[in-house]
Structure 1
Amino acid sequence: MITSKSNPTVKRVNSLKEKKYRAEYGEYIVEGIKQIREAVAAGQKIVSIYYSPRYRGELTEHERSVPVSDEVFGKLSEEVSPQGILAVLEIPENAPAAPQGNALFLDGISDPGNLGTIIRTANGAGYADIYLKNCTDPYAPKCVRSAMSGLFFVRLHFLSENVYPFLDGIPFICADMGGENVYSFRPPQKFVLVIGNEANGVSEEMRKVCEYTVSIPMRECCESLNAGVSAGILMYHLKYANKIN
Structure 2
Amino acid sequence: MEENRTKTNENKIEGRNAVLEAFRSGKPVDKLYVLDGCQDGPVRTIIREARKHDTLIQFVEKERLSQLSETGHHQGVIAFTAAYEYSEVSDMLELARKKGEDPFLILLDNIEDPHNLGAIIRTANLAGAHGVIIPKRRAVGLTATVAKTSAGALNYTPVAKVTNLKKTMEDLKKEGLWFVCADMGGETMYDLNLTGPIGLVIGNEGEGVSRLVRETCDFIASIPMKGEIDSLNASVAAGVLAYEIVRQRLPK
Q: Which amino acid aligns with 1:123?
A: N
Which position in structure 2 is the counterpart of 1:214?
221
Q: Which amino acid aligns with 2:149?
A: S
Residue in structure 2 matching 1:160, options 155, 159, 163: 163
Give the C-alpha shift of residue 13 in structure 1.
3.3
Which position in structure 2 is the counterpart of 1:85?
none
Change (3 A) 1:113 1:180: same
- Cα root mean square deviation, aligned: 3.2
Q: Which amino acid aligns with 2:143?
A: A
Q: Distance in 2 between matches of 1:14 and 1:206?
A: 31
Which position in structure 2 is the counterpart of 1:70?
none
Work out whether residues 115 and 145 of structure 2, in 8 Å CA contact, stay in contact via their aligned partners in 1: yes
Q: Distance in 1 between matches of 2:214 and 2:11?
A: 40
Work out whether residues 186 and 242 of structure 1, in 8 Å CA contact, stay in contact via their aligned partners in 2: no
Give the C-alpha shift of residue 192 in structure 1.
0.4
Give the C-alpha shift of residue 219 in structure 1.
1.5
Q: Distance in 1 between matches of 2:251 and 2:205?
A: 30
Instruction: Give the 5 Å matches for 1:1-245.
Output: 13=10, 15=12, 24=23, 26=27, 91-97=84-90, 99=93, 100=96, 101-133=103-135, 134=137, 136-161=139-164, 162-164=166-168, 165-168=171-174, 169-243=176-250
Change (3 A) 1:16 1:91: farther
| Count of residues in Structure 1 that have an aligned counterpart in Structure 2 | 176
Give the C-alpha shift of residue 239 in structure 1.
2.1
Which position in structure 2 is the counterpart of 1:59?
none
More helix by share: 2
**Consecutive unaligned residues in structure 1, runs of 5 or more:** 1-11, 29-74, 76-88
Change (3 A) 1:214 1:27: closer
Q: Distance in 1 between matches of 2:209 and 2:111?
A: 10
Q: Distance in 2 between matches of 1:141 and 1:166?
A: 29
**Consecutive unaligned residues in structure 2, runs of 5 or more:** 1-8, 30-69, 71-81, 97-102
Work out whether residues 102 and 127 of structure 1, in 8 Å CA contact, stay in contact via their aligned partners in 2: yes
SS in 1 for 2:181: strand
Give the C-alpha shift of residue 107 in structure 1.
0.6
Give the C-alpha shift of residue 208 in structure 1.
1.2
Give the C-alpha shift of residue 234 in structure 1.
0.5
Percent identity among equivalent residues? 31
Which position in structure 2 is the counterpart of 1:68?
none
Q: Which amino acid aligns with 1:181?
A: T
SS in 1 for 2:244: helix
Q: Which amino acid aligns with 1:171?
A: W
SS in 1 for 2:147: helix
Give the C-alpha shift of residue 167 in structure 1.
4.1
Q: Deviations over 1:53-92 (max 9, x none)?
A: xxxxxxxxxxxxxxxxxxxxxx8xxxxxxxxxxxxx9733
Work out whether residues 11 and 144 of structure 2, in 8 Å CA contact, stay in contact via their aligned partners in 1: no
Q: Which amino acid aligns with 2:200?
A: L
Q: Which amino acid aligns with 2:142?
A: Y
Change (3 A) 1:178 1:157: same
Which position in structure 2 is the counterpart of 1:79?
none
Q: Which amino acid aligns with 2:131?
A: D
SS in 1 for 2:186: strand
SS in 2 for 1:236: helix
Work out whether residues 118 and 147 of structure 2, in 8 Å CA contact, stay in contact via their aligned partners in 1: yes
